[in-house]
Structure 1
């Protein structure tokens, strides 16, 4: 596995592979990797592509009171993991490399970035779209892989690529979970033992909401209220949001007649966890 810290280095490596006719796949990450990230690498490797994985904790997507400084980092641990997983190039630039001067140019994806996490974290998706756009221009991948745990992020990036006519296929990969259902996250390391035990209620609640939908419930508000009640009853976490949205464009839904995203965010102390489930409904129920 090769490693690059400078944009010029990475571009030279990729240019050579493109001359050889290789398909280029990008897996963008913020590091502190877990099995979910490695599942993205696995999917990318199955395509036969030359796989570039980036590690960059992007300051643009953190708010002033968020956990940028304390976000978990362990570059050498991550490098060992991705080398074993078969990554061809690890790109781990510094903030100075990615942002050599204050940014005055940003990418914003309207509508999709103003609800759910976007409503609770103003500017977050502007930071995400901007850094991913930069990575796309640096790497010029044919394929890019994103996990469905950050489903809103996946939709934002997919729409950005479509609107800007970027020749990149955006591939989504299912949420990786612990045995008890908790969605894997780099932030899980911050949970206390009690919080970790309580956090499994998030996926359990989503599963119950899906079962309720499949049994015939079509009121988005009833689904949301049942989720809030169950989470509040079984844990001490503070609900940030629980919402049912259209799975395609995150528009509001009242009566569920098409695929929906059931999404939630809950704070356990200072640790904010997100989870979701996309549910297709049977219109004949």
Structure 2
């Protein structure tokens, strides 16, 4: 064998070299993308407010007495309730602050009812759950003042929320007995917390999807709709053309029939 042939054979790449090179490239690019996405998503996340040990201990007592039956003594979850590890203080403040938890009865979804805990007890429960693992924190007050850009908020709401909650926030039906609740009268903090925790059927809108300023704008738009009288008169629940068409069909057509009968009877 000639020396040239030996050199050529010795310098030949292994058949799997290209595969290994591609795999390494994908590994590094995927890792870099994941790190960048995680940093972007958490860059503007509300930071958890420091809780005292006494508050956490008080929350632990309340949790053991009222929540552990369904969620487990260590928040690990049971057949009756999901794990709460990593849900954060925001999820507790939303669920307990709106009266959805403790759950009154099993059903397609938890319903709003008078809350069972005071604000201080709710804060203690939130602090206790948040002490187990990091999670979405209760939002900063500066995002809850409803003083943002209502026009931008209305556009974002139409794009991301109106298909379930109705364009005016009046709520709507979903499948299997579930529903998107009306957003009138809901506290700004609970609207914000719903966006970052995704309760029940709602998707999560983290800061990579909607920035804190965007969430503030959505709250502003909802409060503007809630506090501004309808320029078109009685709004029929803001349920859209179905309610309006039904009103015209029953009352409008009924009035025409009544007038026709009256005219006919008068002429006779």
- TM-score, with structure 1 as normaliser: 0.24
Q: Which has the higher strand share?
A: 1
Q: Which has the higher helix share?
A: 2
